[in-house]
Amino acid sequence: MRILILCTENSCRSQMAHGFLKSFDPTLEVYSAGTKASGMLNPGAVEVMKEAGVDISGHTSDSVDKYIGQTWDYVITVCGGANESCPAFTGKVKHRLHIGFDDPSDAAGSPEFIHSEYIRVRDEIKARFHELYVTKLKDHE
C-alpha cells in the first residue's frame, strides 16, 4: 500500500504522520512531501517524536513535485495550506483524505509551552493516524 502525506513545508506534521504510520506497520510504503518543502526537518518535531520512541531524524523534506504522476492508494493532507494548494496528481489516486492539525511551529510563549504544543499535536497525529491505520489500512491491501 502506497501512501503520500502532504503538508506545506514537509518539516513537521507530515513528518510525524509519516513516522507514526511506519511505526504501526513497517511494510507500508509511506512518503511525505511539501507543496513548498523547506528542505529540512523541524527540530521540535524530531525531538518529540524521539520522546515517543519514533526516530524521524533520517527523513528528508521533499517537494511534492518528486511524486506527481505516480500511483497512490492514499494521498493525505495534514494542514489547511496543503489541502488548498494540493496539486492535481496525474497518476491514479484511489483515496484522497484531509486530516488537519494545528502547526506547532506557530506556537509562541515559553519554551515549556512551545514544547507542550509539539507534544499535543504529536499525540493528536498519533491518535488520528492510528485510527486511520486500524480502520482503513491494516489488512486492506
Residue 12 annotated in active site: no
21, 56, 76, 79: which one is catalytic?
Answer: 79
Residue 86 annotated in active site: yes
At 76 the three-state DSSP class reads: strand
User: In 25-110, which ranges are continuous DSSP H helix?
Assistant: 43-51, 80-85
Residue 18: which of 51, 47, 60 has the closest Cα? Answer: 60
Kindly report the backbone phi and psi dihedral angles of residue 126, in degrees, each rounded to the nearest multiple of 5, phi listed first: -60, -45
- Strand (E) positions, the chain? 2-7, 29-34, 72-77, 93-98
Instruction: Judge contact between 14 and 85, C-beta under 8 A.
Output: no
68, 86, 97, 107: which one is catalytic?
Answer: 86
Residue 7 annotated in active site: yes
3, 7, 99, 132: which one is catalytic?
Answer: 7
At 82 the three-state DSSP class reads: helix
Grid cell locating 52: 515517543
Rounded to whole angstroms, the Cα distance separating 45 from 42 reads 5
Catalytic center residues: 7, 79, 86
